[in-house]
Amino acid sequence: MNLGLLTQLTQAFGPSGYEDKVRALIQEHVAPWADELRTDPLGNLIAYHRGNGKGQKIVLAAHMDEIGVMVSHVDKEGYLRFTRIGGVYPLHCIGSRVRFADGTHGVIYLEHREDTSPSPKLTQLYIDVGATNKDDVPVSVGAPAVFVRPLVQQGERLISKALDDRIGCYILIELLQQVQDSPHDLYFLFSTQEEVGLRGARTAAFSINPDMAIAVDVTITGDTPKALPMAVTLGDGPAIKVQDSGMIAHPKVRQLLVDAARKAKVPYQLEVLRGGTTDAAAMQLTRAGIPSGALSIPCRYIHSPSEMVDSEDVANAIKLLAAALA
């Protein structure tokens, strides 16, 4: 596994709507393998690989953006109030550090509460950037920030911020190198603003108008203490989506992935996700409808600053997709 590339991807600054640095990094790595590269008006990066004219037009999508926060107010003492960019939860924030685009770091903490029994609200949190008054604050209202967490490897486990969905981006970068002989016209879509409404994938799929679309994203697991029962376990293989709260995967796309897993002799799981969805839900409803599905990487602690995946699941996802596109 190319840990250097994954480190670059996860540590790049790229909350929803501010994916420029991530896009530039990905473009550098896919340019030698793509027949065409373009960036559309919403900031999506599309790397096109030309087939032999005997295949289908297929989109493979992974989103570049990550969750984050945005400054909404600066008080006279120099503390910052903030709102969420995507699915940010107060309990995940307390004690976390964040980094702004200009390199400013801050600590998220919780104001004093007399009653500590209920879960805190986002309005009760603030960011401390070390300022002594409002004039010392180096960032202003509207400034976005991302969580600070390095990528670490422990055995087969990988832990980092932004594995949702930089691990999907990593998979597509590696996959592009392995499908140079595919008969299909392949559009590797690195999408924007997934965390705030699947926006980039919707517009890009409309423009491409493919025969089929597959999203590569993460999914929760059912293997942690008192977890909601779910038949997805870290390390047991990539998960082929059956249904989530935003879509029912097209049966032919789902079967294509199952057959590919069996052909490649890689373990796989079937995913039924009660809450959450992926870019596939937006692509499915584009134009007159696009047969769509998703391949998910099991991930613990999604939308926290420390997400965890298994490197074997990642390697097997690449093998599965390569077999599906052969």
Residues with a known catalytic role: 194
- DSSP one-letter code for 40: -
CB proximity list for 256: less than 8 A, separation 6 or greater: 293, 324
Q: How many of the other CB atoms lie within 10 Å of CB of 4?
A: 9
Taking the alpha carbons of 25, 29, 32, 35 in that order, is the dihedral positive or negative? negative
Q: What is the dihedral of CA 107, 147, 278, 260, to 10 degrees?
A: -150
Q: How are strands ordered across the β-sheet holding 57-63? A: 36-39, 45-49, 185-191, 57-63, 212-219, 292-298, 239-243, 269-272
In angstroms, the Cα distances linking 313 to 175, 218, 252, 276 are 14, 11, 23, 20
- State whether the Cα torsion 27-239-193-98 is positive or negative: negative
What are the residue ranges of helices labelled H in the chain?
3-11, 20-30, 90-93, 163-178, 199-208, 251-264, 279-284, 311-325
